[in-house]
Amino acid sequence: MKQICKECGKCCNPLVINIDLDMVNEYVKVKYKNVIVTLDDIVNDDLLFVYMCLTEISSEKAFNLVPKLKIWKKHENTHYFECMFLNKDKKCLIHNKLRPESMCGGYPFYGEDEVFDNRYHKGCGYRSV
């Protein structure tokens, strides 16, 4: 079965990321102090992408969007986000163009061998059953 993204937007609405947001803020503050940030910087620097393009939402809002997130294993730094590139039809505005490779551009395999994992959303093109 060919696995392909159907661009349904479910895995981006919300995004679930385990990340230390204080570290992100500190990193960006130091690295990009007095720097004019370019789009190139954003798509090549995951932490800058998180800082510039994602907005954290509450777990309640995330669970309303995707109820099964309630039972996913959580990390102490699990956060839920909306992405500025997801339009109101739940399509990624930069799909196949500029998505950061190690953030969402490489999802779900990130250059590794394909894995069949049923944790993907219902209807996801990478889901085996």
Q: Minimum distance between the CB of residue 11 and ligand SF4, rounded to whole angstroms?
A: 3
**Which 51-90 positions form the footprint of ligand SF4 (CB under 6 A)?**
83, 85-86
**DSSP secondary structure letters along the chain:** ---------GGGTTEEEE--HHHHHHHHHHHTTT----HHHHHH-HHHHHHHHEEEE-HHHHHHH-GGGGGS---TTEEEEEETTB-TTS-BTTTTTT--IIIIITTTTTTS-----TTSPTT-TT---
Among 3, 8, 32, 41, binds ligand SF4 (CB under 6 A): 8
Q: Which stretch binds ligand SF4 (CB under 6 A): 8-16, 18-26, 33-41, 57-65?
A: 8-16
Specify the residue, 7 or 56, whose C-beta has the smaller distance to ligand SF4: 7
With binding defined as CB under 6 A, does residue 124 bind ligand SF4?
yes
Q: Estimate to the nearest angstrom the gap between the alpha carbon of 112 and the chain centroid.
A: 18
Specify the residue, 10 or 78, whose C-beta has the smaller distance to ligand SF4: 10
Residues numbered 28-47 forming contacts with ligand SF4, rule: CB under 6 A: none
